[in-house]
Amino acid sequence: MTKPPAGGNRTGRKIGQKVKKGKLKASSRRWIERHINDPYVQRARLEGYRARAAFKLLEIDEKHQILKGARRIIDLGAAPGSWSQIAAKVTGSTDEDIRVAAIDFLEMAPLPGVRVLQLDFLDPDAPQKLMDAVGGAPDLVISDMAAPTTGHQKTDHLRTMHLCEVAAHFAVEVLAEGGHFLAKTFQGGTERDLLTMLKQNFRQVIHVKPASSRAESVEMFLLAKGFKGRKASDAEDGLDDGAQDGAQDSDL
């Protein structure tokens, strides 16, 4: 069971550490202090995950069971690789039998059982390379992609939503029937056309805000569960929004 860190920690590091002023800007110093005192960061180090983001996926899975039974997983915007670590474990992926493909334009250190592609997902060759890497239809497509920030909130929102939309269309094109799609989005509204498309192709579409996502962060995750299959989705026009799924989640 994934539990939020308690008030203390098991790393030996004290909570509430301060960073010496030195030549750092005040904003940079505050960011570093928040990071080193974050109990999820400390827990990630203790449990061997590359980033605190691991707990976002684990918490979402604890409630929604999207990792259960997954045989192949594609991880978009994967660096530094904490979601891929989890994916390799749940699929039993090995270097001899690759079942997880990860892509990011940033460099990512190798992981056992993960085929890492250092490539922009928007590259025309990226989708086929990902499919070739896992050797079959994935049961889960996960995306933690976010566009580099410009400082202009509306622009940043639109750029990241574009990545979410491209990832969603990719998922519909490649997922095995019954599969799931999870992608980062931002508070401020998801495009209506994207939601309509997902509702046509999945049995349930909801927004999720895991506890490990910082309260002040505008990030949320768009979760589409139960892919209907390409033949079925082409034939069906009805939408099924699913039931209310808890106080932290909202049906769309």
Q: Where in the chain is the domain with CATH 3.40.50.150?
A: 54-251
Element holding 116 (H helix, E strand): strand 114-118
Please tell me the distance from the alpha carbon of residue 58 to that of residue 169, in angstroms, as a whole number. 24
Q: Which residue in 56, 184, 209, 225 is the catalytic one? A: 184
In this predicted model, what pLDDT tens digit does every residue of 170-215 receive, in sequence order? 999 999 999 999 999 876 665 788 999 999 999 999 999 999 876 6
Contacts (Cβ under 8 Å, ≥6 apart) of 175: 137, 138, 139, 140, 141, 181, 227
Q: What gap in Å lies between CA 8 and CA 12, rounded to an integer?
A: 9
Q: Which residues of 201-222 are buried (b: 16+ CB within 10 A; e: fewer)?
A: bbbbbbbbbbebbeeeeebbbb
Return d(Cα 101, Cα 99) in angstroms, integer.
7
Tokens of 24: 């750092």
Element (H, E) at 226: strand 219-227
* Distance in angstroms (rounded) separating the CA atoms of residues 166 and 99: 22
Predicted pLDDT at 157:
75
Q: What is the pLDDT of residues 8-64, one digit of tens each?
A: 443 444 444 444 455 556 544 444 445 455 677 878 788 889 998 999 999 999 999
Q: Residues 125-182: pLDDT tens digits?
A: 999 999 999 999 999 999 999 887 777 777 777 888 899 999 999 999 999 999 999 9
- Determine the straight-line distance between the first and last CA of the chain, rounded to whole angstroms: 27
- 184 has catalytic annotation: yes
Q: Does domain 54-251 have CATH number 3.40.50.150?
A: yes
